[in-house]
Amino acid sequence: MRSGVEDKLLPVTNLEKLSSFKDLTKNFEKGAYSRVHKVIFRNHEIALKKMSLNDTPTLRVYNNEKHILDLLSRYLTNRYNLHIIRCYGYSEENLSSAFVAMGSFAFESASITVSVYIEKNNFADLPRLYQIATETAIGLNYLHSFCSIVHGDIKSSNLMLDANFRVKIIDFGFAQDLNNKINLVGGTPNYIAPEKWINQSCTTKTDVYSFGILLFELFIQAPLYPEIKTEENLKKEVCNGKRPNHFLFFTHPMRELMDECWDQDPEKRPNMHEVEVKLKAW
Ligand SMILES: Nc1ncnc2c1ncn2[C@@H]1O[C@H](COP(=O)(O)OP(=O)(O)OP(=O)(O)O)[C@@H](O)[C@H]1O
Ligand SMILES: [Mg+2]
């Protein structure tokens, strides 16, 4: 069912000023580039992601996310995907007093990140972990196959659950439009595929690699590389074939899929459609 707020704000266009709405959060969530507040806007709770446009690296991430969300809004108006966070719009404003420019994205409000869910629940609800993996695969397959978008930063803290525990993929700051590469490659070190370390390659298969690491986070729940202390070493080791250690979990049904997803050779990794089909058959 479409809510009132959606009707008014889709597709993504310049919104009216968002900074003055009633803020529900004293403790906002902090990302590397943003602060996310929950606010009341036209009687709806929304999540407002605010980014400083004065800082050059943040401005680049903001512009990248805006380009991708604009693109997504065109697809999502026609064919809504439940597992991609909905963006209602954005606004850019100068906070006149201090020459500070802020950009804000208005998103549908989700409940908790998958990383927090895992921390709180561990293995208490195994079917839920399968559901999280499957729904993430559905969302990613949709991004790859219908939108030609690579997410670029898949990890448990960029996945959220809504009040009904449905997965919502968030954070398009490092996403790539495969039809118009604007070359902002980033990501989170533990999830970066070897070819991305080596030549900045960002393809659907680099997302598949990150998805393999996510499976380890969900189903093994051990530290990824406890013995590696620096990013330089991580890069060297991963490029030489090192992966999170699931040796002790040799009977785990997800092991094979992890190995396939994080294969050193991107060509040998399955695509997200194949991953989705496998997970649905479990
Ligand atoms: N739609 C939403 N509903 C509720 N909380 C959200 C929403 N979007 C983001 N958050 C919270 O804000 C945090 C930061 O958001 P996001 O990942 O988009 O920002 P970021 O600055 O790009 O983060 P990073 O680069 O650190 O991954 C999330 O981890 C989550 O806790
Ligand atoms: Mg994030």
- Both 13 and 133 in one domain: the answer is no
Straight-line distance from the first to the last Cα atom of the chain, in angstroms, rounded to the nearest whole number = 30
- Both 101 and 239 in one domain: the answer is no
- Both 150 and 48 in one domain: the answer is no
**Ion ligand 2, residue ranges at CB < 5 A:** 31, 158, 171
Distance, in Å, from the CA atom of 244 to the CA atom of 251, rounded to the nearest integer, reads 16
Q: Which of 87, 160, 172 to mutate to test the pocket of ligand 1 (most atoms within 8 A of CB)?
A: 160
Which atom of ligand 1 sits closest to the CA of residue 115?
A: 29
* Cα 137 off chain centre by: 12
Measured from the CB, is residue 162 less than 6 Å from ligand 1? Answer: no
Distance, in Å, from the CA atom of 238 to the CA atom of 122, rounded to the nearest integer, reads 26
Ligand with the closest atom to the CA of 107: 1
Measured from the CB, is residue 88 less than 6 Å from ligand 1? Answer: no
- Both 61 and 75 in one domain: the answer is yes
The CATH number assigned to the domain holding 202 equals 1.10.510.10
Residue whose structure tokens are 């009904």: 164
- Both 133 and 268 in one domain: the answer is yes
Domain finish residue from 108, 134, 158:
108
Q: Are 103 and 50 in contact (CB under 8 A)?
A: yes
- Both 91 and 120 in one domain: the answer is no
Measured from the CB, is residue 105 less than 6 Å from ligand 1? Answer: no
The pLDDT score that the predictor gives to residue 92 is: 83
Residue 14 domain boundaries? 4-108
Q: Which of 55, 70, 125, 153 is catalytic?
A: 153
Domain finish residue from 76, 108, 140:
108
- The dihedrals phi and psi of 46, each to the nearest 5 degrees, come to -130, 165
Atom 29, ligand 1: which residue's CA is nearest?
Answer: 157
Atom 10, ligand 1: which residue's CA is nearest?
Answer: 36
Q: Active-site residue 70, yes or no?
A: no
Distance, in Å, from the CA atom of 108 to the CA atom of 88, rounded to the nearest integer, reads 7
pLDDT by 10s per residue, the chain, length 282: 344 444 444 434 445 556 556 666 666 778 889 999 898 877 788 899 999 999 999 999 999 999 999 888 877 655 568 999 988 888 887 766 667 888 889 899 999 999 999 999 999 899 999 999 999 999 999 999 999 999 999 999 999 999 999 999 999 999 999 998 776 788 999 999 999 999 988 999 999 999 999 999 999 999 999 999 999 999 999 999 999 998 777 677 899 999 999 999 999 999 999 999 999 998
Residue whose structure tokens are 């092991």: 255
Query: CA-CA distances (angstroms) from residue 170 to 15, 44, 84, 214?
Result: 20, 19, 7, 15
The pLDDT score that the predictor gives to residue 261 is: 98
- Both 129 and 258 in one domain: the answer is yes
- Both 169 and 277 in one domain: the answer is yes
Q: What is the pTM of this model?
A: 0.92
Domain count, the chain: 2
With 0-12 / 13-18 / 19 or more C-beta atoms within 10 angstroms meaning exposed / middle / buried, residue 253 is exposed
- Both 270 and 213 in one domain: the answer is yes
- Both 65 and 177 in one domain: the answer is no
Domain finish residue from 49, 83, 108:
108
The pLDDT score that the predictor gives to residue 5 is: 42
Q: Are 25 and 38 in contact (CB under 8 A)?
A: yes
Which atom of ligand 1 sits closest to the CA of residue 116?
A: 31
Q: Which residues of 100-119 are buried (b: 16+ CB within 10 A; e: fewer)?
A: eebbbbbbbbbeebbeebbe
- Both 78 and 132 in one domain: the answer is no
What token pair was written down for 64?
């990248």
Q: Which of 34, 38, 176, 13 is closest to 92 using CA atoms?
A: 13
Q: Which of 154, 157, 171 to mutate to test the pocket of ligand 1 (most atoms within 8 A of CB)?
A: 171
- Both 136 and 151 in one domain: the answer is yes
Which atom of ligand 1 sits closest to the CA of residue 36?
A: 12
Measured from the CB, is residue 29 less than 6 Å from ligand 1? Answer: yes
Q: Is the peptide bond before 11 cis (omega within 30 degrees of 0)?
A: yes
Bridge partners for 239 per DSSP: none
Measured from the CB, is residue 254 less than 6 Å from ligand 1? Answer: no
CB neighbourhood size of 67 (10 A): 17
Ligand with the closest atom to the CA of 33: 1
The CATH number assigned to the domain holding 34 equals 3.30.200.20
